[in-house]
Amino acid sequence: MVASLRWGPGGAISRMTEAERSDGHTLLLYAQDSKGMGHITRALTIARHVLAAHPDSVAYITTESPITGDFPLPARCEFIPLPTHLSSGPLPKTEAQDELFNQHLSDNRARTLHDIATGLAPDLVIVDHEPLGHKGEFRDGLFALKAKSPDTKFVFGMRDIMDDPVRIRAKWRALGVYDAFETLYDGIAVYGSPNLYDVAEAYAIPPSVHAKLHYCGFVVREHTAVDPQVLRHLYRVPRDGPLVVATVGSGRDGYPVLGAVQGAIERLQARRRDVRAILVTGPFMPEEQRAILQSRATPTMRVVPRADNFQLMAAADAIVGMGGYNSVCEALSVARPLVIVPRATHKVEQQIRAEILASRGLARCVHPRDLSGENLAVALEWALSRDRADHARLVREIVPSFDGATRLTAYLDQWLGGNGQSGRFAFEGLSSAGSPS
């Protein structure tokens, strides 16, 4: 048997008694995801690897994602939903009501997370992206768990590029994150490579914490290999000619990018009639925007609402994406030339990532303000003209491996037990502490 959740009065979680539990470990993963799919995808990838290495253990993923039903769960893994706007009654009608409602929702989520953490009393907690939860919503729960269960271990899992470093430093100071690194967390797992981005320098992580830093490399989900011709037949794309695949993650704000891709493909096809394209809108794109894209689709430029983007990338000759961590890592792992159109918001994470990869020759970056005219078509011509073998060699020189989930699992063995040895999870050129060896 494995442990499972038991809901007590008021929805609080109580952990099963030791007699009812398995001899394995209980893991709790926090995946902050309300409008996208990246965090929950990464949490599931990590859970699969850890549970495969520890077959007597069980994992719970707490998230506010509204599309958890779209993700197949590994054995011995469950989702714990967090309160969302849609699950908290009628939406507010005025600005004042909205402010009160958001505070009420935030307080409700904090209480829920507190109950989940202290009731479950897991052996290991992995917090993704936000060290204390979204806007600090998990702070009280994490510290209450540490006080109640001193043997629980805490690991912060961070993608290498978070946002503008100045903004991250100010945010972390205001929320008390640096103190949490000192007093709460046992480890900080970096899902990236110091060859591309030094998180200690970027985010002013104190030297006293550096020993907790561990670079795992890029975390990329598994995908099933499919014959490219089978995929072309599935999406009714002609078997001949180079294939461009364009994805925009969840699609919530991806319409301008895919609209520009359609224009660029039309320009390319005027010069190269053999170019083919598949555009994936994602589950959150508004229906009216999807309909506009669909109205411009052709037999050689398909528009689909959903797909296994990783499989499509493996079959592509060139990829267009918005610069999110997961989609970029997947494109790099299959060694396809990449054109990145970073998200145009106050957050500059995607722009930083795009510019770093472009500076290394792995991608071309087209800013959203430059989408009109020939810019995107020229970037796509660069991608289609790349020699695939040469590009693959360049990727491997800069990013030696994409087995971050495996390396993370070995790193966690120091707290979960198992066969992990320090040599197995030291990233190339690094000690397990994350500094040059």
395 φ/ψ angles, rounded to the nearest 5 degrees: -60, -45
Residues 216 and 262 grouped into a single domain: no
**Low-confidence stretches of the chain (pLDDT beneath 50):** 1-21, 87-89, 91-92, 420-437
Is 1 contained in some domain?
no
How many domains would you assign to the chain? 2
Residues 333 and 288 grouped into a single domain: yes
Residues 152 and 268 grouped into a single domain: no
Is 431 contained in some domain?
no
With tokens 């508004």, the residue in question is 286
Q: State the pLDDT at residue 249.
A: 86
Is 60 contained in some domain?
yes
Calpha distance 156→112 (Å, rounded) = 20
Domain that holds residue 147: 6-221+403-425
Residues 48 and 139 grouped into a single domain: yes
List, in sequence order, the alpha helices (H) in 276-403: 287-295, 309-315, 325-333, 349-359, 375-385, 388-398
Q: State the pLDDT at residue 431.
A: 36
Q: State the pLDDT at residue 84.
A: 76
Residues 205 and 152 grouped into a single domain: yes
Q: State the pLDDT at residue 263.
A: 96
Mean pLDDT of the chain: 87
Residues 28 and 161 grouped into a single domain: yes
Residues 262 and 136 grouped into a single domain: no
With tokens 């690194």, the residue in question is 181
Q: Which residues contact 95 (CB under 8 A, 6 or more apart)?
A: none
Q: State the pLDDT at residue 420.
A: 42
CB 331 within 8 A of CB 362: no
